[in-house]
Structure 1
Amino acid sequence: MSRKIIVALAGALLSGAVGAAPTVEMRTSMGRIVIELDSAKAPKTVQNFVQYVNEGLYNGTVFHRVIPGFMIQGGGFTVDMEQKPAPRKVENEAKNGLRNDRGTIAMARTADPHSA
């Protein structure tokens, strides 16, 4: 059985606490997820992601690729599987010490390393 999970990201809930990492709330048809962003290690990626959120780019999108025990991918397609192109490129910040471990979030890209 295929189940589409609809995603809506609330505007960046930038915490008012000094030194606190910014957070974004993702609301899906299956529940709520709070995402903490590492603006110290990935400032350009965080700024770009927050801008996408505030522009509503992810609203009404689905998790279109799900590999159990490995990863989920979403944000690039609507419920009707219409692709939503990324409106701009952002510099790749992969050499910042962060890793794609379980429970983390990352920006997908094409073969162009600066396409996220």
Structure 2
Amino acid sequence: MKRFLGLTSGFIMAISLMAPHAIAGTKVELITNMGTLKVELNDQAAPATVANFLRYVDDGSYNGSIFHRLIPEFVVQGGGFDTEYKKLPTYSSVVNESNNGLKNQRGTLAMARTQDPNSATRQFYINLNNNQSLNAGRNAGYTVFGKVTLGDDILTKMAQVPTGMNMSLRARDVPKQNIVLQQVRRLNDEQASQ
């Protein structure tokens, strides 16, 4: 038994020494007309979702899109419409990975979807609060795949934008002032640390 514990402790120690490099995820910058957010994606916990999100980042189609839904103390949602409220093209939907252990907490990014758990495409949201009701449980939940590492003050600023009804979208909770994703891009290690 001692030998087993010794091997286990050594194995755990080796894992913990490797962990900082293994856990570090892809870094992305979201430059908005209200300021810049830096995010770290969790490639390990949500590999399909991160790959899906990065597909839109890499093809440049998030650039010029808007956050079209804003509910203070809940979420700000975007990536699916341009500034004229025209729906943007999508790739195939991605499988729901909401049982990955990540929670919908303030500053985390998650995929928006319809009632079908596997219907997420390009729209994502950022939690403005800890939203336990969006986590997997009795229902499928919404896949969390990253977190804001810089720009919490920008989220606070976004949450203060007045909202209302928008007839183009036939939706409530639409910001009365456009919150535009001017550029969304991957960051290398040097850019991420600036």
Scaled to the shorter chain, the TM-score interval is 0.7 to 0.9
| 1:106 paired to 2:110 | yes
**Counterpart position of 1:115:** 119
CA positional deviation for 1:110: 1.3
What is the 5 A alignment of 1:6-25? 18-19=21-22, 20-25=24-29
Runs of 4+ in 1 over 6 A off after TM superposition: none
Identical-residue share of aligned pairs (%) = 51
Greater Rg, structure 1 or structure 2?
Answer: 2
What is the 5 A alignment of 1:1-116? 18-19=21-22, 20-116=24-120
SS of equivalent residue, structure 1 residue 83? coil
Could you report, residue by residue, the CA deviation over 1:48-106 in whole angstroms, capped at 9, with x for unpaired residues?
11111101121111111011121100101110011124221111101111111111001
Q: Give the number of the structure whose residues are more often strand, by fraction.
A: 2
Kindly provide the amino acid, as one letter, of the partner of residue 23 in structure 1.
K
Kindly provide the amino acid, as one letter, of the partner of residue 85 in structure 2.
M
Q: RMSD in angstroms over aligned alpha carbons? A: 1.4
Alpha-carbon distance in structure 2 between the residues aligned to 1:97 and 1:57: 29
Q: Give the number of the structure whose residues are more often helix, by fraction.
A: 2
Alpha-carbon distance in structure 1 between the residues aligned to 2:86 and 2:38: 26
Structure 2 unaligned runs (5+)?
A: 1-19, 121-194
CA positional deviation for 1:111: 1.7
Give the TM-score normalised by structure 2. Answer: 0.49
SS of equivalent residue, structure 1 residue 96? coil
Kindly provide the amino acid, as one letter, of the partner of residue 84 in structure 1.
L
SS of equivalent residue, structure 1 residue 92? coil
Size of the alignment, in residue pairs? 100
Give the TM-score normalised by structure 1. Answer: 0.80
Kindly provide the amino acid, as one letter, of the partner of residue 31 in structure 2.
R
